[in-house]
Chains A and B, each alone.
Chain A
Amino acid sequence: DAGVIQSPRHEVTEMGQEVTLRCKPISGHDYLFWYRQTMMRGLELLIYFNNNVPIDDSGMPEDRFSAKMPNASFSTLKIQPSEPRDSAVYFCASSHSQGAKDQPQHFGDGTRLSIL
């Protein structure tokens, strides 16, 4: 079975540019999560969706960040304009709600973002 698929794996861009990260969750999973990992702050939850609807975006650092989930198989995280401090590894994860509540989140391989 295919896992969570993220693209691109690596992104290097200049400050001020728009960055779009993409995620395809595992088929049948109705929860999708976006995380950011940095040395300073560790793994932080940015936003999560349930059935394509954003439920909690309290972790989104500022208005430059936005996320969408137009359908059950695709989500984007956009940064506009990007800044050097946005450099991090961004992970997408998905899980399903059927059955017990202890469903694990399955993570993609991450996107390593560098803003110059």
Chain B
Amino acid sequence: AQKVTQAQTEISVVEKEDVTLDCVYETRDTTYYLFWYKQPPSGELVFLIRRNSFDEQNEISGRYSWNFQKSTSSFNFTITASQVVDSAVYFCALSEGITGGGNKLTFGTGTQLKVEL
């Protein structure tokens, strides 16, 4: 069975600090997909990034970066120079590829990030 663990329940940082959100996953699939979603206080779920199991290239997008390491089954997310607007719950998700396309997602329990002035 698939499982996603976000061990950090809540993180508090001061604005401009860098922060890394951890995600560890378990799957028996050889082909799988990883996602990060953001849920701000307003409640909607916003897609941030996806990675497939064959692409371990790390990515930087503005202040966001992702570190995917298959050897440790981790897909960590770093925010550089955090801002108050980054305050949200961040969810890591693992997909079970559905035949013909589409993905059935297993979500982690989320990490509440609070960025304070």
Contact = CB atoms under 8 A, between A and B. Distances in A.
A50 B103 CA distance: 11
Interface residues of B, number: 27
B110 A102 contact: no
Interface residues of A, number: 30
B45 A107 contact: yes
Contacts, number: 72
Contacts of B35: 104
Nearest to A42: B109
Contact of B102 (A89, A103, A110): A103
Contact of A105 (B42, B52, B97, B103): B103
Nearest to A99: B101
Interface in A1-37: 30-31, 33
B95 interface: yes
Given A33-B105, A43-B91, A103-B101, 4 more contacts: A56-B104, A101-B95, A101-B103, A102-B52
Interface of B: 31, 33, 35, 37, 42-47, 50-52, 91, 95, 97-98, 100-105, 107-110
24 contacts: A31-B98, A31-B101, A31-B102, A42-B107, A42-B109, A43-B107, A48-B102, A50-B98, A91-B45, A95-B103, A97-B100, A101-B95, A101-B102, A102-B52, A102-B95, A103-B101, A104-B35, A104-B47, A107-B44, A108-B44, A109-B43, A110-B43, A110-B44, A112-B43
